Chains A and B, each alone.
Chain A
Amino acid sequence: MKVWGMLLGGFPRSRRLRHVLRDVERGTAPYYVAEAEVDRFASQVIGAQLAAGFPVVVDGMADWHDIFRPFVDAWRNVTVDGLLRYFDNNFFYRIPVFTDEPDARSFVLSRRVYRFRDAADPAGVKVVMPGPVTFAYMSKNLSGLSTEELAERIAFLLREEARKALDAGASLIQVDEPFLADIDATPDHARLAVDLVNSIVDGFGDRAVLSLYYGVPEPGVYEVLLDVKARYLMLDVADAPARASSLLKDKGAGGHVLALGVVDARRIIDDDESRIIELVKGVAGGSEELVLTTSTWMDLIPYRYALRKTIILGRIVESVASSLGADVWSIWG
């Protein structure tokens, strides 16, 4: 058995980066100052992940205002409107507004891979995109398309994103569908998500992750999601450990490699290692491969705690592996 760790998604901005972005927005600093600061920041964040022993890293996406924004900026016929609460967080995203069928003006993810792959060496680079169902259902749809049609169109654009990112050298493609972990998601939503995510990752499912967080999917939704052709299935375990483990015990992983979000990315207190080991043993004891990750992105906790949680995750990978008699896998490829 092999166990490995990775961060799930974005990192919070450092004070310096916040200030630089603010200056650029106010027009008191040129844009390339922000670009340079994002580069420097990403190198720090990547360095922390390498130090923690992760075989794939993220750049931290610290310049993204929310998960949808870079795609909204890169696509035609979509813009942003007012603020809406982002799931159960005290954080608000800008609602994407689709005014017609969206179309790509430029690509978001491949550029990032080219930009950060050298800093990541010898680890692989993971790119993260919002899932088409989450994207479509959390937007305002004035496109004239039905929500399902809009989701399909978004999936088409995301497939291009994924392919270009792979061409650029990305090691893993992660599709985030937090909407499916929400209490209001239905098996129909899950069916649509499965069809669309399968179309996005067709041909490279062995390098794809479907991630579900801010809650644990309802059993009926989860059952449908097991049909997804992504090798890795990520669940937010820290948010509601009891519900997550009973779901996994009842329904299994459907042949997927589980990525368990065991380190709580929304709370700053140190995670309880022995409770995590206990939980992991209960749900993933016999599997061939296991990924441990953060319960969601870490962008909603202060920067220094995100660094700390990165190191804690690395430590937990080691101790889970040793208690399961497994190997720690830390070199991609």
Chain B
Amino acid sequence: MAYSVPRKFPTTVVGSYPKIPPAMDLIKKRRAGEISEEEFRKLIKEPIREAVRDQIEAGIDIISDGEQSREDMVVYFAERVEGYRPGDWVRIFDNVYFRKPVIVGDLKWVRQMIVEDWVYATSISQGRPVKGIITGPYTMMEWSFDLRYGRREELIIELARIIRREVEELVKAGARYIQVDEPALSTRPWREEAELLKDALEVIFKGLGDVKRIVHICYGRLEKIIPYILEYPVDQFDLELKNSNFRLLPYLKEYGYDKELGFGVVDVHTLQVETVEEIKGYIDKLMKMDFIPPEKVYVDPDCGLKRLPREVAKAKMKNLAEAARIAREEW
């Protein structure tokens, strides 16, 4: 079934969606060994179907599988890459702890990790493209412990090779939008950190062919590193903008931004649903700054929607899709 993505202001998502039952139960059962990876992959299809349906009903053009399989964006991959062992307990706040994965041996890709969910989502997307979304090497490195490599320059490239392999599998399966998520980068906004990731992204994206290469970076003090990240070998930056009242936009303009922009227009940390008028206003604001054409603007939420109640997440998507539709007539 063919679906035509609008030329101006296509709408998309960053990726994660609220967990739809029984996704959480399945993740726990798999971890406890009560079901196998194969059973897990089969049973997780039902929550994926629901997440895909919500996105289609909301009017999103380029959708995701809702990341129903992933409880944690680092742990999910650490559990499936050779060289990791389950983590040791570290504090996340107060007396609440989580197991931070530990790299103990040579890292090795051993099997597909996200391809099956992508293939399934695509089979029910009614022709809409589905983004292939994977946690980036900088975030995998920073949110894991390392007992094997020591040198971060070496570790990040090893992680990039593994991600590259998974991306190749996705592309082979037909994915045309590949997004690498890097929430950790903006927490360390120094030039040398930005440059570490640049080398890793070369490994991931080099010579991939006709594929949209996207990096999602979460809220932080990105203005410090914009000149360095603009050198990244990607087609699109997907940025959290609403949450910071769009304060990054003047910097993008100042540095001569010429890539596509994933334009985050709804806050994922508040339950309040932005109205169509508000979102349309944000799009207008961007257009009036006159540094990017509507063909390069992908309207989406700030970040993954997983922490919101499902009905709030869906309402936010619906309003942003409607605002983009109206903006298309105007710009």
Residues of A participating in the B interface, judged by any CB pair closer than 8 Å? 12-13, 15, 18, 21-22, 25, 65-66, 83, 85, 87-94, 183-184, 215, 240, 242-243, 267-269, 272, 299-302, 304-305
Q: Mark B81-99, 1 if CB is under 8 A from A, else 0.
A: 0000000111111110100
Q: Is B190 an interface residue (CB 8 A)?
A: yes
With A267-B145, A268-B147, A269-B146: A183-B95 Cβ-Cβ less than 8 Å: no
Within 8 A of A (CB), among B175-190: 184, 187-190
The number of residues on chain B lying at the interface, defined by a beta carbon within 8 Å of a beta carbon of chain A, is 26
Q: What is the bound-complex CA distance between A184 and B189, given in angstroms?
A: 10
- Which residues from chain B contact A83 at a C-beta distance below 8 Å? 93
With A267-B146, A268-B147, A269-B147: A183-B93 Cβ-Cβ less than 8 Å: no
Chain A residue nearest to B99 in the complex (CB): A302
Chain A residue nearest to B93 in the complex (CB): A92
Chain A residue nearest to B150 in the complex (CB): A269
With A240-B190, A267-B146: A22-B91 Cβ-Cβ less than 8 Å: no
Q: What is the bound-complex CA distance between A309 and B9, given in angstroms?
A: 52
- Which residues from chain A contact B26 at a C-beta distance below 8 Å? none
In the complex, which of the residues A88, A89, A94 contacts B94, with contact meaning CB atoms closer than 8 Å?
Answer: A94
With A85-B187, A269-B146: A302-B221 Cβ-Cβ less than 8 Å: no
Q: What is the bound-complex CA distance between A272 and B145, given in angstroms?
A: 16
Residues of B participating in the A interface, judged by any CB pair closer than 8 Å? 88-95, 97, 100, 102, 142-143, 145-148, 150, 184, 187-190, 192, 221, 224
How close is B228's CB to chain A, nearest CB, in angstroms? 13
With A183-B221, A183-B224, A269-B150: A21-B95 Cβ-Cβ less than 8 Å: yes
The interface residues of chain B, by DSSP majority, are classed as: mixed
The interface residues of chain A, by DSSP majority, are classed as: loop
- Which residues from chain A contact B100 at a C-beta distance below 8 Å? 90
Decide: A94 and B93 in contact? CB cutoff 8 A.
yes
Decide: A184 and B221 in contact? CB cutoff 8 A.
yes
- Which residues from chain A contact B188 at a C-beta distance below 8 Å? 88
Given contacts A183-B221, A267-B145, 7 further A-B contacts (CB under 8 A): A65-B95, A83-B93, A242-B192, A267-B146, A269-B147, A269-B148, A300-B90
With A269-B146, A272-B150: A93-B93 Cβ-Cβ less than 8 Å: yes
* Interchain pairs with CB closer than 8 A, number: 68
Q: What is the bound-complex CA distance between A243 and B188, given in angstroms?
A: 14
How close is A273's CB to chain B, nearest CB, in angstroms? 13
28 A-B pairs with CB atoms under 8 Å apart are: A12-B91, A13-B91, A13-B95, A15-B89, A18-B97, A65-B93, A65-B94, A66-B93, A83-B93, A87-B187, A88-B187, A89-B187, A90-B142, A90-B184, A91-B92, A92-B92, A94-B93, A183-B190, A184-B221, A240-B190, A242-B192, A243-B192, A267-B145, A268-B88, A268-B102, A268-B146, A300-B90, A302-B90
- Which residues from chain B contact A242 at a C-beta distance below 8 Å? 192
Q: What is the bound-complex CA distance between A87 and B89, given in angstroms?
A: 20
Q: What is the bound-complex CA distance between A94 and B224, given in angstroms?
A: 26
Give the one of A13, A15, A267, A269 with max B CB within 10 A. Answer: A269
Q: What is the bound-complex CA distance between A94 and B96, given in angstroms?
A: 13
Decide: B89 and A302 in contact? CB cutoff 8 A.
yes
Q: What is the bound-complex CA distance between A12 and B90, given in angstroms?
A: 8
Decide: A90 and B143 in contact? CB cutoff 8 A.
yes
- Which residues from chain B contact A92 at a C-beta distance below 8 Å? 92-93
Q: What is the bound-complex CA distance between A222 and B90, given in angstroms?
A: 32
Q: What is the bound-complex CA distance between A65 and B95, given in angstroms?
A: 7
Q: What is the bound-complex CA distance between A305 and B147, given in angstroms?
A: 11
In the complex, which of the residues A25, A243, A302 contacts B95, with contact meaning CB atoms closer than 8 Å?
Answer: A25
